[in-house]
Amino acid sequence: MFLENAKRSGWIEVIVGSMFSGKTEELIRRLRRAQFANQKVEIFSPQIDTRYSQDSVVSHDSNSIRSTPVSSSGNILLLSSDVDVVGIDEAQFFDMGLVDVCNDMANSGIRIIVAGLDMDYRGKPFGPIPNLLAVAEYVTKVHAICVRCGNLAHHSHRFTDNDKLVVLGEKEAYEPLCRHCYNEVVKRR
């Protein structure tokens, strides 16, 4: 009887880190566990990110899970009725409305799991991620390994000559660097 009267509680989990740190892998792992528990799961990704697939979230290790590409955060709210868990990948590419969307869903009893870059290639906070970190109940920061020295990396260094904020790419354009190696590279520019 107690469980019947209990109000379903939602919350926000945010997984952040640099490129190649395992953010998407961790997102997929959590979403698969929810599916295994027979929870209704819906996954969203930004329409702009077509590096691996149009209709799946795919990790660098080629693990994948079906997703719905959307053009704005408002579409997530419209498409996530009657679900227990919502996953959002590459959250840094969404508009600032994502914070309100996640709060609204969590307030209605949905578990929200968001993954994204916490910093852009310049080492600055990226998109809605800082605000999501502020309102999240759970935050996980994952790290890559610095390709130059082997320390923990938390910078996504872009080594191409493009100064646009958003440049989709992988190992041909980005490398994970630790603080020391990143600062050394920036000094030489």
Beta strand residue intervals within the chain, DSSP E: 11-17, 41-46, 56-58, 64-66, 68-70, 85-88, 111-117, 138-142, 144-145, 152-153, 155-158, 174-177
Instruction: Please say whether the beta carbons of 73 and 101 come within 8 A.
Output: yes
Q: Determine whether 90 is an active site residue.
A: yes
Identify which of 50, 118, 105 has the alpha carbon closest to the alpha carbon of residue 77: 105
Instruction: Please say whether the beta carbons of 93 and 46 come within 8 A.
Output: yes
* Dist. CA 130–CA 159, nearest whole Å: 24
Instruction: Please say whether the beta carbons of 50 and 166 come within 8 A.
Output: no
- Catalytic annotation, pick one of 13, 42, 90, 175: 90
Q: List the catalytic residues.
A: 90
